[in-house]
Structure 1
Amino acid sequence: MEATLSHYFGYDTFRPGQKEIISKIISHRNVLGVLPTGGGKSICYQVPGLMLGGTTIVISPLISLMKDQVDQLKASGISAAFLNSSLTQKQQKAIEQQLLNGEIQFLYVAPERFDNDYFISLLHQLPIRLVAFDEAHCISKWGHDFRPSYQDVIYKVFDLPQDFAIVALTATATAEVQKDIMSRLNINKADEVKTSTKRRNLVFKVNPTYQRQKFVIDYVNQHKQEAGIIYCSTRKQVEELHEALEDNNVNSTIYHAGLTNKERERAQNDFVYDRVRVVVATNAFGMGIDKSNVRFVIHYNMPGDMESYYQEAGRAGRDGLKSDCILLFSERDIGLHQYFISSSKADDDYKDKMGEKLTKMIQYTKTKKCLEATLVHYFEPNEKLEECQQCSNCVRENKTYDMTHEAKMIISCIARMKQQESYGVIIQVLRGELTDYIRYCEYDKLSTHGIMKDYTTSDLSHLIDELRFKGYLNENDEILTCDSNVKSLLNAEKVVFTTPFKRKSKEKVSINTVEGVDKALFDELKGVRQKLSEQLDIAPVSVFSDYTLEEFAKRKPESKQDMISIDGVGSYKLKHYCPKFLETIQSYKAQI
C-alpha cells in the first residue's frame, strides 16, 4: 500500500483516514470517506484502484473536475481517461476501444452517462474492481449541491454484473447527509471513516466591511505574487469587481454560468495554468479544481449555508501552506438568500431546511468564538474543540473579561450532577429553576443550585460555549461533560477570558507570510515548472505543487536521492521532471 503511494505519488505516509479507507476497499467493503477539502480524497480510490488492477469507474459531477484528475494521473504515469460531452464522437470511440483493450485504469464519467444504453453495455465488458462516487454529498437531497442524477445512477451501478467495491467520498457532509449516503449505497456504520474538518493551514476571517471593493483591491495588491479566488453572489457583481480590478492593474479573469463553454474553459485554464492569478466567479466555479497553490479565497458575499462556504473556502491551501479564507459580510446578503429560498420551487420541508442552514451561516458571521472551531462543531458536533489561535476572532483583542470565577462555578455544578446532562438542564440548575425533572434528580439540593441566579440564560449559554470552544467542556449528542484539563482551572493554574457579554468590536485582518524559503530560487523553480507545464500541456501544479517547490527551495537537493525524500516526488516524476529542477538548483547555488 505504502509502496504504491510512494511510487506513483511521492508520499511516504498516508494522511489521516486514507489508509483506513483503502484497507476497507481492499477487503471488498463499501466505504464512506468524509475527509476535509484538500485532505487527499482522490488518493483513497486511486491507490486501491492501482492495487486491485482492472478498471476503476469514477463518477464525478463536473467536466472540469474530470479533466484535472485525468491530467494529474497522467502526470504520474497512470493511464486514465474521461468520457463526457466535451469529446468528439471520434475521441469517444478511441477511448472506448482503449477500455476494451484494457489500456485504461481509471475512467471518469458524469452520472448522466449511465443513461446511455451503449455505455452500460460497454461497462458490462470491463473488469471493474472499484466504483468511486466523488463529491458524494450530491447524492443526498439534504446535501448543499443535490443532483437527482446522482441518485438515479445508484441503481444502475448495483445492476452491473461485476464483483466490485464502492467508495463514496466527500468533504462537506453533515451527519444527516452522511446517514443518507450510507443508506443509499449499502454502507455499514462501521465502514464510515471520518476525520476532522480542521485544516490548520487555513486562516479564517470575517470582515463586516462596508467598503468591500476597496478591501479586495487593497488585499490583492498586497498579495501580488499569490493566486486567489473571489466569489460573488451574482454575475453582475462578478463583472463589476473584475472591471475594478482591471482598472487597478490586477490581471484577473471571470467565470459564471452566463459565459459560453469556451469562455469558461479559457478562464479556468488561464487560472490553473498560472496565466492569471485571480479569478472572480460565482459558485459555478471551483468544484474539483485541483490547483493546490490557491493562497486566498475571498467571499465578496455571504453564501447561503456552511457547507457551500466550507467547500469554496477550502479550495485555498490544498498544498498545506498558510492561506487566507476571508468572508466579507453585509446584512444585505441575508435578504438575497431569503429571496432565493422563498422563490424556490422546492417543497416546504426543503425550504425549512434551507432556512435553518441560512441561520447557521448568519450565526457564523456574528459569532465571537473561534471560527475554525465553529466550522468543526457544525460538521461534527461531538468532536473535541479547541481554539485555533489564528482566525480573526482568536486574534481579536477583545477578550478582556476574566470569567475564571464563573468557569469554576459551572464546572463544579456539572461535576456534582449524578448523571450527564444537557446544556438546558445545566443552565436551569445554575439559575436555580425548579422543574419536575430537577426535583426528581434532587438537583435542587445541590450546593450549586442557583449559584448563578443573577445571570441570564443568554449569559450562561455564552459562558458555557466559551468553555466548550476552549476544550474545557466536551459535547456528545448534546450532553456536556468536563474534560480532564478542567483541573488546571480549578487549581488556579490557568485563567479564562471571554468577550464582555454585550460588547461589539471591530475586526482586524492580519497578513500571513511563509518564511524559511529562498524566494529567488523558488521563483526560478516556478519558471521551470511553467515551461514543463506548457511542453506537457498539463497544469503547473500537476508537475509539482507549490509545497514541493518550496521544499526544493528550502533544502536545495543535490541529487535524485535527495529529491525522492521530498513529499510529492514519486518515481515517475523523479525520472521525467526532476533533472530540469536539479539543473536549476545547481546553477543557482553556483552563483551565490
Structure 2
Amino acid sequence: MKYEILKKQFGYDTFRPGQEEIIDAIMQGRDTIAIMPTGAGKSICYQIPALMLEGITLVISPLISLMKDQVRSLNQNGIRAAYLNSTLTPGQYRKALMLAAQGEYRIIYVAPERLESESFLRFVQQARIAMVAVDEAHCVSQWGQNFRPSYLKIREFMQKYSGQWRFCAFTATATKQVEEDMIGLLGMRSPYIVKTGYDRKNLFFSVEYPANSFLRLLELVRQRSGQSGIIYCIRRKDVEELCEKLCAAGIRATRYHAGLSDEERNANQEDFIFDRCPVMVATNAFGMGIDKPDVRYVIHYSMPSSLENYYQEAGRAGRDGQSAECILFYKAADERVLQFLLENQDFGDIGETQRKERIAKDWRRLEAMKGYALTQACLRHTILTYFGEDSPEQCGACSNCMHEYELIEISESVHTILGAIKSVRQKFGATIVLSLLKGSRSARIGQYGLDQSAFYGSLSGLTMRQLQDILRFMIQDGLVETTADTYLVLRITPKGSRFFAHPSSLTMRQYKKGKEPDAQDDEVFEQLRAVRLRLSRKYRVPP
C-alpha cells in the first residue's frame, strides 16, 4: 500500500534513503525520531502513514508559512488537509474544526500554541486521532536553534490525550544533546531513531572575506542570472537596504522578514516561489518548510549565530538533488551585531541563572560558527564533525579543498602583529591595527597619531589581503581574540602572550588561485526551464 500511495499521490517510484524504514517503524506503532537533512523528504515519512491509518494525523509545526506550503501541496495532490493557526478568522477556525470533526481532513497542521486552546482540546477529545507528528522537533531544545517554549507543552498533551496514538518527530539538524532533549522533553518511549546522515553531497560550500561585500554579492548574483537564490542577513534593516540596492542594480529581488505585514510576506514569498523574483533577501524568518526545490544558491551576507542555523538555512539550496552553492561572507563586524543580539535576547520569565546558562550555550554555538568561518580545514568535514558524524578530512568539493595552497612561514609577521596590538594597548580593532602595519595614510591613523608608531609600515611589503589572512589564522589558532567593548577590539590571549615572549616556527596555508565551479551554460536546460514556466502559469502551480 505504501508504494501505491508513493506513486499515486506523490509521483515517485522509489523511496529515498531512510524513508521506508521510518514509515515501517511508525506503522509498527513505535515512537519514531527521524534526523534527516533538508531536502531528504521528511514530510513524506509522516504523510504516507497518515494516509494508511484510519483517523486524523496532527502535525505540530512552528511556522505559518510552512503549514500553508504543506497544506497547499497536499491539496494539489488530492489529499484533504487543513491548518489551524492565527491567520484564520474565528468563523474560519470554527468551520475548520467542524469539518475536521466530521472526518473531512486526513492531515491537520497546528501551531504548538494550539495545544493550550480550549476549543482545540475539545475537538481532540471528540475526534478520531491516529497519529501526532512533530515537525522541526529541535525547537523543543534550548541547545538547538529556533527554541520555542510552546514545544514544551507537547509532552503533557501527549500524556493526557494520547491513548494509542502513534508519535513521531522530525528534524534536519540535531547534535547529540538536542537528540537527547527531543526524547526526554517530548516524552518519547524508547523511540526508534533513524539518521540518514547530514552530508549533502550536491552542495558546494565556500567562505569568502570580501573587501566590498555588496559589490561581491552583486557579482555573484549576476553570474547566476536566472537562477533562484536566497540571501540571508542578520537584521531587518540590512534586508531592506540590500534588497533596495539589488533592485536598483536591475536584479529582480524581493524581501522577507518578520516586520512586514502578513499580506506582503505572503505576496513576496509567492513571487519567489513562482520565479517572478528569483532572488529572495531575508532574515532567518524565511525558509523553514519552504518547498522550492530548485534554489541554486544560498548566500549568507551576514554570518549566522550558530552552525545549526547555518546548515539548516544553507540546506535550502539544491533540494532537487542538483548541484547548488552555499556561500558565507565573513565580516568581523557581524560578530558585534551577533554578540549584542545574543546578550539582549528576550528570555521571558526565566531566572538569572537560567539566563546566564542560555547565554553561555549561545556563546559556544557562536564560537563554533566563527570557527567554521575562519577554518582552513575542509568545510564539509567541519560541519559534519560538529554534528557528530564521521567524514573524510577532505571532501574535494568545498572552497578550502579545491584551492591549491602552499605552506608559508609567518612567525615573524605574527610576532610583529602581536607587537602592534600591544603597542596600541589593545584598544583598536583589525582595521586600525592592519592599517598601522601597512603604513596607511588614512585620516584615522593620523588622528590617533599612529603614523609616529615604531610599527607604522613595518609590514608594508604584504598586501592588505595577506595581512587579513594572517590575522584570521591568528584568531583561529587562539593567539588573538576579538572582544566587544563599545566596538570590536583585538586582544592578545594567554597563548598569544606566550608566543610573543618565546616565538617558535609557525606556518600557514596560503591559497593559490582557486578553481571555480563550472557555470551552467546549457541551452537545452534553459529551454526546459521556459517550458516549465509556461506550464506552471497554465496550471497555476509553482514551477
Query: What TM-score, normalized to structure 2?
Result: 0.77
1:99 Cα deviation (Å)? 1.1
DSSP 3-state at the match of 2:405: coil
Q: Distance in 1 between matches of 2:178 and 2:308?
A: 11
1:14 Cα deviation (Å)? 1.5
DSSP 3-state at the match of 1:394: helix
Corresponding position of 1:523:
529
1:32·1:168 contact (CA, 8 Å) conserved in 2? yes
Q: Which among 364, 372, 381 is matched to residue 364 of structure 1? A: 372
Distance 1:246 1:183, change over 3 A: same
DSSP 3-state at the match of 1:310: helix
Structure 1: which amino acid aligns with 2:537? K
Bigger CA drift: 332-341 or 173-182?
A: 332-341
Corresponding position of 1:60:
61
Considering only aligned residues, what root-mean-square deviation do their CA atoms show, in Å? Answer: 2.3
Corresponding position of 1:79:
80
Structure 2: which amino acid aligns with 1:315? R
Q: Give the unaligned 5+ runs of structure 1.
A: 402-457, 463-499, 542-592
Q: Distance in 2 between matches of 1:297 and 1:44?
A: 26
Distance 1:517 1:24, change over 3 A: farther
What fraction of aligned residue pairs are identical, expressed as a percent?
A: 42
Corresponding position of 1:348:
356
1:377 aligned onto 2:385:
yes
1:30·1:186 contact (CA, 8 Å) conserved in 2? no
Structure 2: which amino acid aligns with 1:314? G
Corresponding position of 2:426:
none
Corresponding position of 1:302:
303
1:349 Cα deviation (Å)? 1.3
1:46 Cα deviation (Å)? 0.6
Distance 1:394 1:93, change over 3 A: same
Corresponding position of 1:395:
402
Corresponding position of 1:157:
158
1:264 aligned onto 2:265:
yes
Distance 1:328 1:74, change over 3 A: same
Q: Distance in 2 between matches of 1:399 and 1:3?
A: 56
Q: Distance in 1 between matches of 2:167 and 2:141?
A: 16
1:93 aligned onto 2:101:
no
Corresponding position of 2:469:
none
Corresponding position of 2:509:
503
State the Cα deviation string for residues 97-133 of structure 1 (Å, max 9, x = none). Answer: 2212212110001011122111111111222111000
1:521 Cα deviation (Å)? 3.5
Q: Distance in 2 between matches of 1:388 and 1:9?
A: 33
Q: Distance in 2 between matches of 1:202 and 1:251?
A: 24
2:183·2:191 contact (CA, 8 Å) conserved in 1? no
DSSP 3-state at the match of 1:56: strand
1:87 Cα deviation (Å)? 1.7
1:514 Cα deviation (Å)? 4.9
Distance 1:302 1:342, change over 3 A: same
Bigger CA drift: 28-37 or 504-513?
A: 504-513
Corresponding position of 1:561:
none
Distance 1:190 1:56, change over 3 A: closer
Distance 1:259 1:28, change over 3 A: same
Task: Figure out how many residues of one structure are paired with residues of the other and give that number.
Answer: 442
1:8 Cα deviation (Å)? 1.3
DSSP 3-state at the match of 2:258: coil
1:154 Cα deviation (Å)? 2.5
Query: What TM-score, normalized to structure 1?
Result: 0.71
Structure 1: which amino acid aligns with 2:373? T
Corresponding position of 2:180:
179
After superposition, residues 123-272 of structure 1 pair within 5 angstroms as 123-187=124-188, 191-272=192-273
DSSP 3-state at the match of 1:108: strand
1:322·1:512 contact (CA, 8 Å) conserved in 2? no
Q: Distance in 1 between matches of 2:167 and 2:535?
A: 36
Corresponding position of 2:71:
70
Q: Distance in 2 between matches of 1:161 and 1:310?
A: 33
Distance 1:343 1:84, change over 3 A: closer
1:138·1:145 contact (CA, 8 Å) conserved in 2? yes
Structure 2: which amino acid aligns with 1:362? K
Q: Distance in 2 between matches of 1:149 and 1:190?
A: 22
Bigger CA drift: 301-310 or 95-104?
A: 95-104
Distance 1:393 1:172, change over 3 A: same
Corresponding position of 2:463:
none
DSSP 3-state at the match of 1:113: helix
Q: Distance in 1 between matches of 2:246 and 2:329?
A: 17
Q: Distance in 2 between matches of 1:190 and 1:261?
A: 38
Q: Distance in 1 between matches of 2:266 and 2:41?
A: 25
Bigger CA drift: 27-36 or 260-269?
A: 260-269
